[in-house]
Amino acid sequence: MVVAYFVVYNRKWLYFEIMGRRLLRELLGKMLKYDVMTSYGLVLAPSKTVLTQEHLDLFRQHRIHFMDIITTTVQDDEDQPVLEVVSSPNTSELLVQQASAYAKQLFERIGTEQKIPLTEIKSELLPIVQQAAEQPNLFKLFQAVRAKDEYTHQHNIGVGVLSTLIGKWLNMDEQEVELLTLAATLHDVGKVTISPDILQKPGKLTPEEFREMKQHTIRGYNLLRETAGIHFRVALVALQHHERADGSGYPMGLKESQVDRMSRIVAVADVFHAMSSKRPYHPMMPFYEVVRRMRSGLFGELDPHIVSVFLDNMIRNLIGKKVKLTDGRWGEVIYINPTDDTNPLVKIEEAYVDLSRERHIHIKEVVV
Could you report how far apart the first and last alpha carbons of the chain are, in Å? Answer: 58
| 216 DSSP β-pair partners | none
| 366 DSSP β-pair partners | 323
Query: What pLDDT, on the 0 to 100 scale, is given for residue 16?
Result: 37
Q: Is 297 helix (H, G, I), strand (E, B) or coil?
A: coil
d(CA 20, CA 136): 29
Q: How far is CA 248 from CA 73, 125, 242, 244, 306, in A?
A: 59, 33, 9, 6, 18
Residue pLDDT, tens place only, 218-250: 999 999 999 999 999 999 999 999 999 989 999
- Kindly write down the DSSP assignment for every residue of 104-124, as one continuous string: HHHHHHHHHH----HHHIIII
Q: What is the share, in percent, of the chain residues with pLDDT greater than 70?
A: 84
Q: How far is CA 57 from CA 63, 140, 229, 349, 356, in A?
A: 10, 19, 31, 39, 44
Q: What is the share, in percent, of the chain residues with pLDDT greater than 90?
A: 48
Is pLDDT of 149 > 70? no
Q: Is 351 helix (H, G, I), strand (E, B) or coil?
A: strand
**Band (147; pLDDT cuts 50, 70, 90):** low
DSSP 125: I
d(CA 120, CA 111): 16
3-state secondary structure string across 155-213: HHHHHHHHHHHHHHHCCCCHHHHHHHHHHHHCCCHHHHHCCHHHHCCCCCCCHHHHHHH
Is pLDDT of 101 > 70? yes
CA 259 distance to own-chain centroid: 23
Q: How far is CA 156 from CA 33, 146, 191, 288, in A?
A: 30, 11, 11, 24
Q: Which of 6-10, 45-49, 155-159 has the lowest mean pLDDT?
A: 6-10
Q: Is 258 helix (H, G, I), strand (E, B) or coil?
A: helix
Which amino acid, residue 67?
M
CA 40 distance to own-chain centroid: 21
Q: Is 148 helix (H, G, I), strand (E, B) or coil?
A: coil
Stated pTM of the model = 0.76
List strands edge to edge, sheet with 322-325.
Answer: 351-354, 345-348, 330-335, 322-325, 363-367
Is pLDDT of 57 > 90? no
Is pLDDT of 179 > 70? yes
Please provide the average confidence, as pLDDT, over all residues in the chain: 83
Is pLDDT of 260 > 50? yes
